[in-house]
Structure 1
């Protein structure tokens, strides 16, 4: 058993992609980030950490981090304890600062425990999430309005909404980071809004992290004053159908398990649970 670290995402994907694609939806986060890094090496301001732990030709564990964001992990084998210890030793040896970890629930908890044992860094749960997948849309009860692509004219509103989303999702970064992120996503044609007949926008959803047959939806955000009116349901359902019509085999998304309303919404429009995914922060 050994660890391999990589200077770039293309080399990382050459080692890890085929194995990770065997569970494309469950591994859509790490795959999507790696593919973004491969196509846009300067997308993130900081040098990424990219590593695999392998046993012969078998991938056991994959790790990716783009500071200041959490370390993301994926495992292909349930017996990953030795692989985790090797990974933690490598991170410590190379003096990587880890703000937190995100991974399938048991893997995230085990990494947090081992990291604390090795570094004395206390940890806390940041968010319990669930990954969902959709192959067929169940249209919700229609509401006034329509899906449209976000434009630069929407930026003042969307910047406030994205800031609100990141606060609720416990994502690292300051308002300046969020503004740059929003401008980039709009310029790339990744953000969509639900617009009422009078032109007012009331909900936001993005497409993100295209992999091979699966594309993710996120963020999804409706400001408090517009919640409970069916706007997000119609936006996500319509965007999901648009992506399926564009050739994607499935759509995936992450939900906050502390928000039962959004989880019910996604179930109703055809999203099925795949795996629980937890984020831990280190102090």
Structure 2
């Protein structure tokens, strides 16, 4: 039983689409990354072509968009270790369910002599019953438009800095979401005070991203308000599942999303392989 690796996203989806879409929340990252590459080309995430993989002995998938680390689906520890043997090139790290990442990292360490270091720990949530915050924050939501582009780029860059991610494609991130109404702003007194983003729908699933409030506007309920607004908009547009990730080291956001009706599903980890 072996891994098959390809740069052809259509071939990857033909091999994995059925099982990935059967559990769209758990597979939110492989699905949304593959769709983004399908729409924008193999270098949608950086200067090197994306690589996709699947295992012919079980339902297992991997997506790698250098320079980002490969993202792994749920799989056996044996399949994860075999993938570490199959991949070649400089890996900055690996991301996925905790046990899967640990098995991959151990095999990569044996193969290369690298030492894995935990970069971040995340929790995947799915929306149950949406519970708007009480008392409600002052202000109202609106969909971001072209006139908000520079503000959204600046806030998105600030968001990625705060969560410790180096994303060189900030403008592409914002422009893509503006193209389908996937950026939302919360305004108070006509002034934008918070934002949230949304992925394109995949198998009825969307993922809330980049919830950000500048420091001068925090502790006023704006993050909860904009998250509620974008979640409600997604459901109204026909989404059957709404997901999001939180940083496990941030108790504030973990508590907030659970108050809004988001239910913890599973934990993920990202490890780095320092050069």
Q: TM class, shorter-chain normalised? A: over 0.9
Q: Is residue 44 of structure 1 aligned with residue 45 of structure 2?
A: yes
Q: TM-score, normalised by structure 2?
A: 0.92
Q: 1:124 aligns with which of 117, 123, 127?
A: 117
The yes-or-no answer on 1:160 pairing with 2:161 is no
C-alpha distance after superposition, 1:45-101 (max 9, x if no partner): 42011111121xx32x2111111111100124xxx2332232112213xxx221111
Residue matched to 1:147: 141
Which shows bigger deviation, 133-142 or 251-260?
Answer: 133-142
Per-residue displacement from partner, 1:231-281 (whole Å, max 9, x unpaired)?
A: 010111111111111111121000011111111111011100000011111
CA offsets per residue over residues 161-219 of structure 1, 9 Å max, x none?
Answer: 11121122222334xx323433343344221110112x211111001152112111101
Retained in 1: the 8 A contact 2:231–2:242?
A: yes
Match of residue 243 from structure 2: 252
Would you say how many aligned residue pairs link Structure 1 and Structure 2?
Answer: 271
In structure 2, how many angstroms separate the alpha carbons of the residues matched to 1:168 and 1:213? 30
2:74 counterpart residue number = 75
Relative to 1, partners in 2 of residues 1:31 and 1:180: Cα closer, same or farther, differing over 3 Å? closer
Q: 1:38 to 1:184 in 2, by over 3 A?
A: closer
Q: Is the contact made by 2:185 and 2:226 (CA closer than 8 Å) also made in structure 1?
A: yes
**Mean Cα deviation higher: 180-189 or 228-237:** 180-189
Shift of 1:33: 0.9
Q: TM-score, normalised by structure 1?
A: 0.90
SS at match of 1:122: coil
Matches within 5 A, 1:230-249: 230-249=221-240
Separation (CA, whole Å) in 1 of partners of 2:173 and 2:198 = 14
**Deviation (angstroms), 1:44:** 2.9
Alignment of 1:177-196 (within 5 A): 177-196=169-188
Distance in 2 of aligned mates of 1:236 and 1:159 = 19
Unmatched 5+ residue regions in structure 2? none
Matched, 1:228 2:219: yes
Alignment RMSD (CA, Å):
1.7
Cα distance change, pair 188–214 in 1 and its aligned pair in 2 (3 A): closer
In 2, distance between residues paired with 1:82 and 1:236? 38
In 1, Cα distance between the equivalents of 2:5 and 2:202?
A: 22
Task: Compare 260-269 and 41-50 and name the one that shifted more.
Answer: 41-50
Residue ranges of structure 1 left out of the alignment (5+ in a row): none
What aligned pairs does 1:187-226 form with structure 2 within 5 A after superposition? 187-197=179-189, 199-226=190-217
1:75-94 equivalences in 2 (<5 Å) = 75-76=74-75, 80-92=76-88
Alpha-carbon spacing, 1:250–1:82, altered in 2? closer, same or farther (3 Å):
closer
Q: Distance in 2 between matches of 1:240 and 1:136?
A: 11
Change (3 A) 1:224 1:29: same
Taking the aligned partners of 2:64 and 2:6, their CA distance within structure 1 comes to 12
